[in-house]
Amino acid sequence: MAKLNSALLFRCYIWLADTIYTADHITRKEIDEKWARNTTLNHHGESCIPERTFHNWKNAIEDMFEIVISCDRARGRSYYIENADDMEQGGIRAWMLNTFAINNLINESHHLKRQILFEKIPSGQRFLTTIIEAMRDKVELEMTYQSFHKDYPSTFMVKPYCVKVYRQRWYMLGQSERPDLVVYALDRIENLEATDTPYKMPVDFNPEEFFAPIVGVSDAHKKPKFVTIRVNSWQANYFRSLPLHSSQEETERTDEYSIFKYYLVPNYEFKQELRAHGSAVQVLEPKKLADEMKKESEEIVEMYNKNL
């Protein structure tokens, strides 16, 4: 089998994991038949995946995503996902598998491309493989980064702790020369290379817990607050079907409005979510947040009045 670049190899891992997961149980012959038909990843038209390559991919999938692929000899040596129940409960493994598997499927189905529309993802995703491999190998990255707040890029070492996607943009949480953990947008990275410098992530660090108090990626280190909002009845269904945050609780419901409560950090992204609903949403508590939203609304009105 021809040597694959890291980005294509990553997509092959996703394809194999999704192929086995979707089939429930599948033999090596059936996997090879699907591989032979895959013109997007199988650029050289190979009729099968070599045995050594197959097991290398299988081991890489377990290392990267903790997706365990096992062989059921009682069912004709068919392969299956041993921890499929964990994946079905959601989380990053299921999300990444679904996202990349769908992307692979659409690339295979060229005639459907115009019928399936997606939001454009910034080019930062090209660094995703390098970051994930560095997290797997526990090595630092040398990164050249252009912040929105600086006029020039800077190059420094960073320890990658986790990656997160928010609103079609990838972010990396890492430890650099700063004392606090910092979130970096992948589309602001100009260059990224793995080094041979090992690092240790704190044993008690949990990425999900780190981001749990916030919407988006900013201000995760701040203390959460109780937030109460009032939502018009015609907009409340949107909040019920797509909660703004995992702590969302509907405490009152009438014909005219509903009251929703949260326990989170009222960061920039959360306020943006509230603004997106315009006059259908009013912040009731805390007063400081309500005053901030009111002031910003007044500034918007003033700006429009000046330009009319």
Does 218 reside within a domain? no
Number of domains in the chain: 3
State the pLDDT at residue 15: 87
Residue after which a domain boundary falls, among 64, 95, 115: 115
State the pLDDT at residue 234: 93
- Tell me the per-residue pLDDT of 265-281, one tens digit each, with 9 for 90 and over: 999 999 999 999 999 99
Same domain assignment for residues 258 and 240: yes
- State which residues form the domain around 41: 6-115
Mean of all residue pLDDT scores within the chain: 87
- Tell me the per-residue pLDDT of 42-95, one tens digit each, with 9 for 90 and over: 888 899 999 999 999 999 888 877 889 999 988 888 999 988 777 666 555 565
Does 217 reside within a domain? no
Residue after which a domain boundary falls, among 89, 115, 141: 115
- 145 CB neighbour count, 10 Å cutoff: 20
Q: Amino acid identity, residue 303?
A: M
Peptide bond into 243 cis (omega under 30): no
Same domain assignment for residues 128 and 178: yes
Among 39, 40, 34, 3, residue whose Cα is nearest residue 17: 34
Residue after which a domain boundary falls, among 63, 88, 115: 115
For the CA atoms of the chain, what is the radius of gyration? 23
Question: CA angle, corner 251, sides to 246 and 254, nearest 5?
Answer: 125
Residue with the larger pLDDT of the pair 5 and 269: 269
Predicted TM-score (pTM) of the model is 0.68
Q: Band of the pLDDT at 252, cuts 50, 70, 90? A: very high
Same domain assignment for residues 12 and 29: yes
Does 220 reside within a domain? no
Same domain assignment for residues 106 and 132: no
pLDDT at 129 over 90: no
Does 219 reside within a domain? no
Q: Band of the pLDDT at 39, cuts 50, 70, 90? A: confident
Does 180 reside within a domain? yes
Same domain assignment for residues 10 and 95: yes
Across 21-48, average pLDDT: 89
- Tell me the per-residue pLDDT of 80-125, one tens digit each, with 9 for 90 and over: 998 877 766 655 556 566 666 556 555 555 555 566 555 666 656 6
Same domain assignment for residues 109 and 22: yes
State the pLDDT at residue 105: 57
Does 156 reside within a domain? yes
**What's 164's domain CATH number?**
2.30.30
Same domain assignment for residues 10 and 110: yes
State the pLDDT at residue 35: 93
Tokens of 153: 């890029």
**What's 248's domain CATH number?**
3.30.70
